[in-house]
Amino acid sequence: MLRWRGHDGSVDHCVEHRQDLQDPVAASRPSLGSPMLTAAEDDSRLAEKLVEALYRPDGSRALRPVHALGIGATGTFVASRIASDFCVAEHFSGEPITTTVRFSNGSGCATAHDGWSDVRGMATRFHLADAAATDLVAMTLPEFFTATPEAFLDFAAAARPAPYKGESVWRKLRALLRLELPLRNPYPGETISPDSGAIAFADVHPNARLAVFGAAAIGAPLSYVRASYHAVHTFVVTGKDGTRRHVRFSWQPIAGVANTNKSETPVDSYLLAELRTRLEKGSDRFSLVMTIGETGDAFDDPTRPWPPHRVRIVMGTMTIEAVADDQAEASERLSFNPWLLVHGMEASDDPVLRVRKEAYKISSARRGGAPCPFAGG
C-alpha cells in the first residue's frame, strides 16, 4: 500500500459520474438516487451535509466553516488588450473594474495560526455596471481533493480534526527508510489536526494524493499577496467570434511567490498586519492567467491537472489598493458564490462545482452573512 505522510486530501476517482449531473434534461426530472427528489433538491441536501461536516470543533458557527479568518481589500481589475477576444464577459472589456477581494486562511479554526502550513483563499468580486457582479473564488492548491461532492463528504468525515501527536525520531527514521514522508511535529499549541484522517483517506483514494501532497508541502505565505491562487474548476468562456473554450483561471502575484522559513517557529498572527502595512506603502498586483484546455483534458474533474504546455492567456491585471475600511462588510458578512457568473462565462459539468452553489448559499445563511447572490432562488 502506498502511504502518504503529510496533510489534507481526498477523492475516489472510481466513483462513476451520475447520469443526471451531465444531462440537463435528467437534471430537471426526479433523481434516480432519491425517487421523490429532483436533482436540485438532492444537491441541497448534500450541500447541507457538506456544510455541517466541514465545521471544526475549534471553529465558530458565527464564522465560515472553512476559510474562517480573512481580510477584505479593495482593488481594480483591468483586462488585457486580447482578453475580450477570448471572453466577452463584461469584466474583460478593458474598462477598469472595481473589485472586493477577501484573502483567507483555509482552516475553519476560529483562532489565527497564520504561520501553520495551510491552504489560503482569494475570493474576488468584480463590481459591474447596474449593480451586477461576478465572483472568482480561488485557493492556493491547483487541484481539489475529490472528483465528486459525495466523495468530498466522505473525505470531510475522514479528515475530521483528531488529536495530533506527530512521531518519535525513530518512527520518522523508519518512514524515511521506507520512502515515506514522516509526519511533521505538532506546531506550538496544536492539539488537533485533520492530517491523519486525510492521509488515511488518500491511502485508499489515489486521486486524493495530488491535493493531499500539495497541502502537506504548501507552507505559509510571507504575505497574502505572495501566493498563487487557482479557481481549480473548469469554466466555459465565449470569445468575440462565438468560439467556446474550456478554461481554468489562476492569479499570479507580480511580487512573486514566497513562503516563511519552515525551520523557524511559526508566528500565529502576521498576515493581516502585513497586508495593512504593505498596502499603506503602495499597491500590489496580480495577473489573471487563463489556461485553455484541449480535447482529452479533464473538464469535469478538479482532481486532475492539465498538461503543463497548454496555451495560457494573460486576461488582465488586478491592483490591490487598500485594506477595506469596513471589514464587517468587505470580509465577515460578504458572501461569495462561484456560480455568480455573467454572460460570456459558464460553469462546466464539474459535479463539485455544481454543489458549491448550494453549499455557499446555505453556509452564508447559517452564519448570518450578507445574502448570498442565490439566496431565495
Are 3 and 180 within 8 A, CB to CB? yes
Query: Does the footprint of ligand HEM cover residue 151 (CB under 6 A)?
Result: no
- Residue-wise DSSP of 348-376: -S-HHHHHHHHHHHHHHHHTTPSPPTTTT
Q: Are 250 and 287 contacting, i.e. CB atoms less than 8 angstroms apart?
A: no
Candidates 187-195, 267-275, 292-300, 354-362; binding stretch for ligand HEM (CB under 6 A): 354-362
Task: Report 205-234 residues binding ligand HEM (CB under 6 A).
Answer: 231-232
Q: Shortest CA distance to 195 belongs to which of 178, 219, 212, 210?
A: 212
Only one of the segments 196-204, 251-259, 287-295, 364-372 lies at the binding site for ligand HEM (rule: CB under 6 A); that segment is 364-372
Name the one residue in this structure whose C-alpha cell is 527514521. Answer: 173
Closest distance between ligand HEM and the C-beta of residue 325, in Å? 18
Binding flag, residue 50, ligand HEM (CB under 6 A) = yes
User: CA-CA distance, 4 to 34, in Å (whole number)?
Assistant: 36
- DSSP notation for 42-58: HHHHHHHHHHHHH--TT
Q: Please report whether residue 359 would count as binding ligand HEM according to CB under 6 A.
A: yes
Task: Give the count of residues interacting with ligand HEM (CB under 6 A).
Answer: 32
Task: Output 67 or 246, the one with its CB closest to ligand HEM.
Answer: 67
Where does this chain touch ligand HEM (CB under 6 A) — which range of 199-207, 286-294, 312-320, 349-357?
A: 349-357
Looking at residue 125, what DSSP letter applies? E
When binding is defined by CB under 6 A, the residue of 6, 65, 161, 293 that contacts ligand HEM is 65
How far apart, in Å, are the Cα atoms of 165 and each of 52, 195, 214? 26, 11, 21
Sole binder of ligand HEM in the list 6, 59, 75, 121 (CB under 6 A): 121
Chain positions contacting ligand HEM, by CB under 6 A: 50-51, 54, 64-67, 70, 102, 104, 121, 123, 137-139, 144, 149, 152, 231-232, 302, 335-336, 352, 355-356, 359-360, 363-364, 367, 369
